[in-house]
Amino acid sequence: MFQKKKQKQSKSQPCDSSKLECSLAKVREHLTSHPVVHFKGAKSDSPLRITTDNKGRFVRFSLQAEVSFHLDTIEIFNKAGRNIAPNKRTIISSCYDDDDKYDGRGALVGKKNGGCGFHTKRERNPWLVVDLGTIRNLAEVIVYNREGNFYTRALSLKIESSRDLHEWQPIYDNWECLKAGDAEGFSEQEQALLFAGVLEADPVRKLLKRYKSEGDLKRAANLLELTNELVKDKGFALAPQHGFTRPFDLSSEKEKNKTYKELAQVLQWLNEDYGIPAFISSGTLLGIVREGKFIGHDDDVDICYVSSKTTEQEILSERLEIMAFLQSKGCKTAPSGIAHYWCTTPHGVSMDIFSGFMEDGFCSMNPISRKEVVVESVLPLKTQVVKGVTLYLPQDPEPLLVLNYGPSWRTPDPLWSFDWGKAKRDFKFLYF
């Protein structure tokens, strides 16, 4: 990640909200003068179009952050106006899930359907090189991004050309705004906000973590508030745990109602059709119990089921069976890369599905804890009508909420963060 000038880190001074407001105004002015392009795909009719006079055999597309890299379609035109990219060889930094189908060749086919023509693993500065075979006179590069919220991952795009894979000539840098003009003189906090302005969350998240560790919660809360003020016009907000997301506060009532209905449908399938107790958990449970609705700054829904299997291998085998069952209902499921599954319903609602099991009279439920919630606090499940649909909840949600969010769970805390290290130790066998 680019940082023009490393700032000295010192212990935070007490928060001055007026200084924070000035920092926000300064960052906004800079981004107005040096805008980043929020390019998307064919459906949005907003691909990235770059003209160039470069000559080269190789064209490299790379990101300047630690992230997964994926684009829909890449077109490279010569001076005659012909797309010379189709069927050319590609070289890639990595392939998602070590699957060659993500190696980049798909991006040169030109489907323009808003999906992934290639996909790397999550890594620092991932890249894709297109080998044109011979040195060509380049005229234009058109990049079609993924549609949906994942388009933001490619916003640090840099494009270069080379004749020999050793010396590279710049074609385009979408993060030029971070390197231009007065960005060098920005304070550490202003630099964090500047990165936030291009939807790169890591600098702000690190600063929030430091402020919290120093006990300066007011300064942390103000920084989070200003960050969200900066990016809200793009339809995003910063969740300290997840990065930039599209939270329920920024979703329409129609979108939220669809999520409630899809959540209720999946719970019905699991409880009534498959026959396993499954209930809302984590942030979804907290919102429903505390506020009677989804938490405004949350961005997805969480389900946990409780297995009656007794061995680790049986629990893992059943988890695969449950995912196959959901697929038979039209859902798409995929391992999250940690210990739960991602599930996308037939109508496009995303959910996290966690596994739990019983041991020694307790319900151990990933990710909250093992052997700390007695079975009677969870089973039998109860139902509650929320926004016109029936949801399944633990028999007594409070012990789960205290373990997950602490004894003050009834008080909203936008700076709350979860100890994933303990969860990994407790539920190591569930990790992929």
pLDDT digit string (tens) for 218-264?
A: 999 999 999 999 999 988 999 877 789 888 998 999 999 999 999 99
Give the pairing type, strands 350-359 and 301-307: parallel
Residue 208 has pLDDT above 60, yes or no: yes
pLDDT reported for residue 422: 87
pLDDT (average), residues 2-16: 43
Give residue-wise pLDDT tens across range 314-344. Answer: 999 999 999 999 999 999 999 998 999 999 9
Q: How far is CA 99 from CA 2, 95, 117, 342, 430, in A?
A: 30, 6, 13, 19, 22
Average confidence (pLDDT) over 186-209: 92
The owner of tokens 């899930």 is 97
Average pLDDT estimate for 13-18? 53
Please give the full DSSP string across 188-231, using - where no structure is assigned. Answer: HHHHHHHHHHTT--HHHHHHHHHHHHTT-HHHHHHHHHHHHHHH
Asked if residue 267 lies in contact with residue 279, where contact means CB atoms within 8 angstroms, the answer is yes
Cα-based angle 351, 413, 296 (whole degrees, multiple of 5): 45
Tell me the sheet residues that pair with 50: 141
d(CA 273, CA 250): 34
Q: Which of 89-93, 133-137, 148-152, 272-276 shows the lowest mean pLDDT across its residues?
A: 148-152
H-assigned helices in 6-83: 17-33
Q: What is the pLDDT of residue 17?
A: 58
With 50 as the cut, is the pLDDT of residue 134 above it?
yes
- Total-model pTM: 0.79
67-122 pLDDT, tens per residue? 999 999 999 999 999 999 999 999 999 999 899 999 999 999 878 999 999 999 99
* Mean pLDDT across 271-278: 98
**161 and 85 Cβ atoms separated by less than 8 Å:** no
Q: Which amino acid is at 193?
A: L
In this prediction, residue 97 carries a pLDDT of 85
More confident call, 403 vs 10: 403
pLDDT band at 7 (very low <50, low <70, confident <90, very high): very low
Task: Say what the pLDDT of residue 14 is.
Answer: 46
Residue 404 has φ and ψ, to the nearest 5°, of -80, -40
